[in-house]
A and B are shown apart, each in its own frame.
Chain A
Amino acid sequence: MLNDTVNPAITYSLSRRRFLKGLGLVAGGLVLGTLPGMAQSTIPIGGLYPLTGAAALFGPKFVQTAQLAVDQVNAAGGPLDRSLNLVVKDSGSAPQQATSAIQELINLSGVPAVSGAATSFATVAVAPIAAANEVVLISPSAATTELTTLDDHDFVFRTFPSNALQGVALAKLALQEKFKTLSVIHRNDSFANTLAGALVKAFQARGGTVLEDVSYPPNETSFRSALERANRSNPDVIVPIPLAEDGLLLIKQAFQLGIEKLRLWPSSIKNQEFVDDLVKTLGKGALEGIEGTFPSMPQSLSAKRYAAQYQQRFGEAPTPFTANVYDSLFVIALAIQAAGKATGPAIRDALRTIANPPGQVVGVDEFAKAKDLLGQGKAINYSGASGPVDFDEHGDVLAPVGIYEIHDGKIVETGKIPAN
Chain B
Amino acid sequence: MSLWNDFVGQLPQLLAYGLVTASVLGLGAVGWSFLYRIFNFANFAHGDLMTLGAYWGLLFNVGWRLPWSLAFPLAIVATIGSALFIDRVFYRPLRRRGSAVLLISSAGMALVLRNTLRLFWGQSVHSYDLGFHQAILVLPGVRLTPEALIGMAFALVVTLGLFGLLQYTRMGKALRAAADDLDLARVCGMSLTWITRWTWVLGAGLAAVGGIVLGVEQHLLYPLMGWNLLLPIFAAAVLGGLDHPSGALLGALVIGVGEELFGFFFPNYRPALALVVLIGLLLWRPAGLLGGRS
Contact = CB atoms under 8 A, between A and B. Distances in A.
Interface of A: 52, 54, 56-57, 59-60, 185, 188, 214-217, 219-222, 224-226, 228-229, 232-233, 245, 248-249, 252-253, 255-258, 273-274, 277, 280-283
B127 A228 contact: no
Nearest to A280: B127
Contacts of A255: 132, 134
Interface string B1-32: 10100100010011001001100000000000
B1 A215 contact: no
Nearest to A230: B267
B163 interface: no
A367 to B, nearest CB: 31
Contacts, number: 110
Interface string B190-227: 00000000000000000000000000001110101100
A225 B125 contact: no
Contacts of A224: 14, 17, 20, 260, 263
Contact of B218 (A233, A252, A273, A283): A252
Given A252-B218, A273-B124, A219 B13 contact: no
Given A219-B224, A225-B261, 10 more contacts: A185-B267, A224-B260, A245-B125, A252-B132, A256-B135, A256-B147, A258-B134, A281-B127, A281-B132, A283-B132
Contacts of B134: 255-258
B167 interface: no
B228 A225 contact: no
Contact of A217 (B133, B145, B265, B269): B269
B227 to A, nearest CB: 8
Interface hub of B1, B3, B124, B219 (most chain A Cβ within 10 A): B219
B220 A248 contact: yes
Interface hub of A224, A274, A277 (most chain B Cβ within 10 A): A224
Interface in B204-263: 218-220, 222, 224-225, 228-229, 259-263
Contacts of B145: 256
B143 interface: yes
A373 B88 CA distance: 66
Given A57-B123, A57-B124, A253-B218, A216 B268 contact: yes
A249 B264 CA distance: 18
Nearest to A223: B267
A60 B14 contact: no
A346 B232 CA distance: 51
A220 B222 contact: no
B268 A222 contact: no
A256 B262 CA distance: 21
Contact of A245 (B219, B222, B229): B222
A257 B10 contact: no
Contacts of B6: 232
A226 B267 contact: yes
A188 to B, nearest CB: 5
Nearest to A274: B125
Given A60-B123, A222-B21, A245-B222, A217 B132 contact: no
A217 B124 contact: no
Nearest to A54: B224
B219 to A, nearest CB: 5
Contacts of A56: 118, 123
B151 interface: no
Given A252-B219, A252-B220, A277-B125, A221 B132 contact: no
A354 B212 CA distance: 54
B277 to A, nearest CB: 16
Nearest to B127: A281
A333 B269 CA distance: 45
B288 interface: no
Closest 9 CB pairs of A and B: A225-B263, A226-B267, A224-B17, A281-B132, A225-B264, A56-B123, A57-B123, A219-B228, A215-B268
Interface in B25-61: none
A257 B143 CA distance: 7
A233 B1 contact: yes
Contacts of B132: 252, 255-256, 281-283
Contacts of B222: 245
A214 B118 CA distance: 31
Contacts of B115: 52
Contacts of A215: 267-268
19 contacts: A56-B118, A219-B271, A221-B225, A222-B20, A225-B259, A225-B261, A225-B262, A225-B267, A228-B13, A232-B1, A233-B1, A245-B222, A252-B220, A257-B134, A258-B135, A273-B124, A273-B125, A277-B127, A280-B127
Given A56-B123, A274-B125, A277-B125, A228 B271 contact: no
Contacts of A225: 14, 17, 259-264, 267, 270
A278 to B, nearest CB: 9
Contacts of A273: 124-125
A220 B143 contact: no
Contacts of A219: 224, 228, 271
A287 to B, nearest CB: 12
A57 B229 CA distance: 21
A239 to B, nearest CB: 15
Contact of A228 (B10, B118, B259): B10
Contacts of B126: 277
Contacts of B262: 225
A398 B3 CA distance: 41
Contacts of A245: 124-125, 222
A59 B122 CA distance: 11
Contacts of B17: 222, 224-225
Nearest to B130: A281
B219 A281 contact: yes
Contacts of A249: 218, 220
A226 B21 CA distance: 14
Interface hub of B123, B127, B260, B261 (most chain A Cβ within 10 A): B123
B125 A248 contact: yes
Nearest to A56: B123
Contacts of B147: 256
Contacts of A54: 224
A216 B135 contact: no
A217 B263 CA distance: 11
Nearest to B128: A281
